[in-house]
Amino acid sequence: MPVRRDIVKGAGAALALYTGGHIPASALDRSDFGTPRLLLGPMMGDTGADYATIWMMASGPFSLVVEYARDAEMTDAARVPVIRPDPAQDHVVVARLTSLEPLTEYFYRVLVEGERDRYRRGMPLGKFRTAPAAGSESAFSLAFGSCARIQQDAKQPIWNAIADAKPDFFLWLGDNIYADSRDPSVIALEYHRQRGVPSYQRVGRDVPQLAVWDDHDFALNDHDRTNPVKVEALEAFKRNWANPSYGLADAPGVFFQKTIGAVDLFCLDSRYHRDPNTQPDRPGKTLLGERQREWLMDGLKQSNAIFKVLACGSGWTTAKGPGGDSWASFLSERDELLRFIRDERIEGIILVSGDTHVAEFNCIPQSVEGGYDLFECVSSPLAQRPSQSWLERTPDIRMVTPYNMSSNFGMLDFDFDGPSTATFSVRDLWGRQAWPPFVIAEDMLKMGVTSWRELSRLSA
């Protein structure tokens, strides 16, 4: 009979995993969870001038403590309160470090049940730098990329190049995993696979991470608001990232706004409320959804930042054409937004996107409409084969021949010493520049200024 009980217990565990459910913690003895340890992480999440967040997944409901200090000797280390993971949340927790100083380097380590993780004795301390205070004109760098397909690239050496570049932040622009499934358990598993890539650990541990999604982490290719598991996909996203926030109370999604010094990031959800690409493009067709669009417009009107970065998983230009999986299928809504930017005299906007499996630098020439030229910085893919599909696409203006020789990541280096600038560069698998950097100056992003021809010539 004991053997029979073991079989039933094992079958129950297998069923819980298969269905995406969980065995109640009350049904398990402490010994069932085995050796206390971290299964995934630690990964840095949203980090500000006086706080930081750290994501981690434990092997059971074990107490977790994060110690942090300004020196590697951990002198007078502070501690966050004890955190006990919940099995219903896959034993994922997010620790919040508080009372930090701006632009300061900190070291940290995680204790499991009061001890260093015995499976990670040789793991170095985590190390990160806090952000500049809101409004502070302090230089910082934002790395970004999209399309990490572990199924094509399990080793993902691009993360070594990103770690060597030492960005202050990293922004995931979607297709962060290729779930390609409506099964919530598959979506969760693909997050875990990607989070465990060995080459990623240094970036995850030391660089604050922010993320939006695109179709492949939303569910299936080109998926939209009709996705029947979008609620479950959103829950999986929220469980596996540590963003500042996720949508609004009356508008679910992954969108959020974050201020870093003199830069405002508006990170958009291009999937949860999106109409099907193939619907006729006319007023009322939406990629963002009415409430997110209102939120974005209100945020832009209120922003006093020198630069305002609009980040979206879908490309901003006409490149993919009508019916394509980008803003090209939503030009009525896009152009309404661009007219709003012009009419409200909102300056300093830079567009960022991913998805295309090549790196690009494009322009929407709004100076001919009485506004200013909007530059789009594109990086893709992080980890899979680049594509030749750009040969069949026509963006509003292509500033440079796309880069498709290797995986790549983008960098925006913000500098406020003298004229304020945002320098866009693309780095290849070995950290080399894919093309000469493009310097976008603050005075290029002002009403009535035409700059794309000059910028293209200077960077040629």
Report the relative pairing of strands 78-79 and 64-69 from DSSP bridges. antiparallel
Residue reference for tokens 């394509």: 324
Q: Domain end: 78, 94, 129, which one? A: 129
pLDDT tens digit string along 389-408? 888 899 999 999 999 999 99
Short-list 396, 423, 397, 394, CA closest to 410: 423
Q: Which residue has the tokens 């380590």?
A: 109
Q: What single-letter DSSP state applies at residue 390?
A: G
Where is pLDDT greater, at 3 or 57? 57
Are 229 and 180 within 8 A, CB to CB? no
Residues 283 and 404 in one domain: yes
Of 95, 129, 163, the last residue of a domain is 129
Cβ contacts of residue 460 below 8 Å, gap of 6+? 400, 436
The tens digit of pLDDT for each residue in 168-226 reads: 999 999 999 999 999 999 999 999 999 999 999 999 999 999 999 999 999 999 999 99
Q: In the 8-state DSSP scheme, what is residue 276?
A: P
The answer to whether position 135 is within a domain reads: no
The domain that holds 162 is classified in CATH as: 3.60.21.70
Q: Domain for residue 147, yes or no? A: yes
Say how many residues make up the chain. 460
State the residue range of the domain holding 24. 1-33
Domains identified in the chain, total number: 3
Q: Which residues pair with 365 in a beta bridge?
A: 373
Residue 430, domain member (yes or no):
yes
**Is residue 134 situated within a structural domain?**
no
Both 19 and 63 in a single domain? no
**pLDDT tens across 406-436, in order?**
999 999 999 999 999 999 999 999 999 999 9
Residues with Cβ within 8 Å of residue 426, at least 6 apart in sequence: 359, 361, 379, 403, 408, 409, 410, 411, 433, 434, 435
Which of 129, 148, 177 is the C-terminal boundary of a domain? 129
The pair of structure tokens assigned to 217 is 């982490």
